[in-house]
Amino acid sequence: MMTRGYKVTEYRPDDAIEEVDIVIRFPQQQRHLDEFVNFNLQTSNGPVPLSNFVTLTPVAKTGTINRVDAKLVITVQADAAEGYLVSERLAALQAEMATKSFPLDVRVAAKGDSKEQQETGMFLMTAFLIAIFAMLMILLIQFNSFYQSLLVLSAIVFSTSGVLLGLLVAQQPFGVVMVGLGIVALAGIVVNNNIVLIDTYNSLRKSGHRAFDAALITGQLRFRPVLLTAGTTVLGLVPMVMSMNIDFVNREVAFGAPSTQWWTQLSSAIAGGLGFATLLTLFLTPCLLVLGANISDWWQVIKPRLFKKLALSQKS
């Protein structure tokens, strides 16, 4: 009634299409909040000003009362200052809140971006494990060897270190969404080099070469194709890593455009992981193949002796 008035009903005149609100409010000169103190309350001793009973203090307006599971909820929103990461500031805030004492019926929970990142992280982890399991099944069918299948999948572990190095070189933060997608996509790329090396190694072994000679020849034959394949992929991602935006119409090249920043983390993760895993695979995979062959040969020699000793001990 003081400001906008109090709506009591609606009325639609005969010559009108829309309804008209009927509102009760004070005169124009009295439409301000200071008039509250001039209200008179009817008491047994007559009218008494409202200011004799209450003190008016302006506070923040509460438009709605929010409840979740029948519990009162108060939402506090904030943005991270320039130069700070939301995840880092949230972790610091949660650590500080852990040192504070609250009433037993008060609970503090992080929502918004934090909750979405957790849900996305769980989804990407599930997708990553499903992809690893599917690749393992396919590799077992092709190679018929647990050792060689796990050796192929080891490139994914090596690529994780390369992802962190790529983000460090590109000076990019670890984003759950884009970096997580990069790791899942990278898992299907880095295994190709190991598959090529192991397939060539198995072919040479079937032709009669010793393990060491087969690994050495495999490295010589596949060094250039593997390096060129990975190198061209990494070079193709360099413009995205550098946030390069090429305008073919106006013939302009810009760096750091808003449209390119979304893909910088993804490209940096793939490029760094692929480059690191490729260089490591070229030298480590042949060595592990020879190691596996030597262990297998040793087991073939020691197994009859071991079983013979077990048989003698059982007879005695």
What are the pLDDT digits (tens) for 19-63?
A: 888 888 888 887 777 777 777 888 888 888 888 888 877 777 766
Residue of 187, 136, 188, 153 whose CA lies nearest to 288: 153
Which DSSP string do the residues of 91-128 spell out, in sequence order?
HHHHHHHHTS---TT------THHHHHHHHHHHHHHHH
E-assigned strand segments in 44-146: 46-49, 66-68, 71-73
What are the pLDDT digits (tens) for 192-250?
A: 888 888 888 888 888 888 888 888 888 888 888 888 888 888 888 887 777 777 777 77
Q: Which residues are within 8 A (CB) of 12 and not within 5 positions of it... i.e. 6 or more apart?
A: 18, 19, 20
Q: What is the pTM of this model?
A: 0.57
E-assigned strand segments in 92-251: 244-247
What are the pLDDT digits (tens) for 247-285?
A: 777 777 777 666 666 677 778 888 888 888 888 888 888
Please tell me the CATH code under which domain 117-315 is placed: 1.20.1640.10
| Tokens (6 digits) for 1 | 């009634």
Domain ranges of the chain: 6-52, 117-315
CB 281 within 8 A of CB 227: no
Residue of 222, 173, 180, 186 whose CA lies nearest to 201: 222
Q: Is 119 exposed, middle or buried (0-12, 13-18, 19+ CB in 10 A)?
A: exposed
Q: Which SS3 state, helix, strand or coil, does residue 61 take?
A: coil
Whole-number pLDDT of residue 288: 82
Can you give the length of the chain in residues? 316
